[in-house]
Chains A and B, each alone.
Chain A
Amino acid sequence: MLGPVRLLILQSTPFCNIDCTYCYLPHRQNAERLKLSVVEAVAERLRSEGLVKEYIEVCWHAGEPLVVPIPTYRAYMQALNERLGPVAKVRYSLQTNATLLSREWCDFIRENDIRVGVSVDGPRAIHDRYRVDRLGRGTFDRTVRGIELLKALEIPYYVIAVLHRESLRAPDEMFEFFQSLGAKEVCFNIEEIEGVNKTSSLSSEAKGSATEFFLRYFELIRATPGSHWLREFSHSLRRLSAKSVHNAQAHPFEILTVDYTGNYSTFSPEMHGMSTERYASFVLGNVLDPASSFAESLGRRVELVEEIERGITRCKETCRYFEVCGGGSPSNKVAENGSLDSAETMNCRLSLQAPVDAMLLIASSQAAGQLVTSSSAAVSFDVETR
């Protein structure tokens, strides 16, 4: 079964106005833009092929979206709303470095209820270590200026911060920074080996450091009333407590990535720009090509589906975290192991296992404390009648 598409990533441009040294995206100096005809074709095909139901999130990503002018987005979104609006609730989001945010952008974001994700890695020294412009200058001040504008206009945003070697050593500084920034929601991604980023400041041996980082960060969240929401805190507990974890990146056409030329792919969005000797490209087709449907194009690459399924089976057979994971990210398997038909990656160890382990350690120590001090006023007790 294909879809329904829950996340449509549209690349309004591959260009980025800054030049982060760990970025996985190729062609970041290419200033071409997504054509309206591509947007119209994507929406038309999604509707006619029945791949959109109930709701869909459209995310402007894979390049700096604010490089493209607001009137162009108005046209894109009108085309999407006209075609998808009758069959689904369409919600928009964008992932930005915030350096180009202006009053006009904020008005547009508010007017269209666009969810804003800002990429900021932490305090100045940590952020500027990798997030630089083409002259090698740090972008911290420009990013924070954008965030301050969002705050001044009371526009909600969430943070995506890339964890690298330097940030793993500084959980207290990271926590204090995001608190002082006034961030309400924070998500951590690890510095991955993916796409054109062939190395990482992290390594598999960093799992202990990552666990220590999350352990301390989780403790700070627990100890600080009103602290920001942290995806890794919430998701680790939810993963641990779920009967099963759905792996959207492994399900055909639950995620659809379309680049500025109309080329499309599914599974992990990061696979879109990747090319390997084994698989060549992961692009399935072009939305402007009327010759084949989304389903037919995937049918021609059935080996991708089969290998992803075999990889998940391999995870199930070999990894004790499978029940709380769901089988890992295909893009990381390709980038790190060279094969979709593979199991554990560094990304698994650092972004999933480390926070889950940290949460288990907290559960264990809290359990010990609760049992010892069960009469203490510091312990919250409730009574449940079963």
Chain B
Amino acid sequence: MPSKKGAAAAVTCILIAGSGVALTGSADAAAQLRDASHDQLLQVFRQALAEGKLRLSANQAAPDGDEPKFGDFSDAFRDSFKDNPTS
């Protein structure tokens, strides 16, 4: 349930969770994503991320209990990601 911890508190919601990752976002980010057109979504998402309104949680047990896959050797083969702000 929502609650507050002083004036600086920002309510965040889990937007997407699964496969070892979870995306949370502020109400402001949620509103921006809701209102964006299909063509704008990528840009709006990245902007909200840069402004700290979206956050990816990973490398820990996800809400559905999936195994984390960060740092896996096979990432070199499967793909790889650097400088993830939240990893």
The answer to whether B30 and A367 touch across the interface, beta carbons within 8 angstroms, is yes
Give the dominant DSSP class at B's interface: mixed
Which residues does chain B contribute within 8 Å of A240, judged by CB atoms? Answer: 42, 45-46, 49, 56
Closest chain B residue to A364, Cβ basis: B33
The answer to whether B10 and A384 touch across the interface, beta carbons within 8 angstroms, is yes
Say which residue of B6, B18, B79 sits within 8 Å of A235 (CB atoms).
B79
Bound form: Cα–Cα A151–B38 in Å:
42
- Of A165-173, A220-228, A284-292, A332-340, the one contacting chain B is A220-228
Chain B CB within 8 A of A380 CB = yes
Chain B CB within 8 A of A233 CB = yes
Closest chain A residue to B3, Cβ basis: A383
Bound form: Cα–Cα A374–B12 in Å:
11
Closest chain B residue to A353, Cβ basis: B42
Q: 1/0 per position for B13-36, CB-CB distance to A under 8 A? A: 111111111011101011111101
- Of A130-138, A244-252, A294-302, the one contacting chain B is A244-252
Q: How far is the CB of A175 from chain B (nearest CB, A)?
A: 12
Which residues does chain B contribute within 8 Å of A218, judged by CB atoms? Answer: 18
Say which residue of A7, A237, A323, A364 sits within 8 Å of B76 (CB atoms).
A7
Closest chain A residue to B22, Cβ basis: A237
The answer to whether B79 and A360 touch across the interface, beta carbons within 8 angstroms, is no
Q: How far is the CB of B57 from chain A (nearest CB, A)?
A: 10
Task: Give the A-binding residues of B (Cβ under 8 A).
Answer: 1-6, 8-21, 23-25, 27, 29-34, 36, 38, 41-43, 45-46, 49, 54-56, 58, 63-67, 69, 73-74, 76-86
16 A–B contact pairs at CB < 8 A?
Answer: A57-B74, A115-B74, A218-B18, A222-B17, A233-B19, A241-B56, A241-B84, A245-B82, A248-B79, A248-B80, A360-B42, A370-B15, A380-B13, A381-B1, A381-B13, A384-B10
Closest 5 pairs between A and B when the two form their complex, measured CB to CB: A241-B56, A6-B76, A367-B30, A367-B33, A233-B19
Task: Give the B-binding residues of A (Cβ under 8 A).
Answer: 6-7, 55, 57, 59, 91, 93, 115, 184-185, 187, 218, 221-222, 225-227, 229-231, 233-235, 237-246, 248, 254-255, 320-321, 323-324, 356-357, 359-364, 366-368, 370-371, 374-375, 379-386
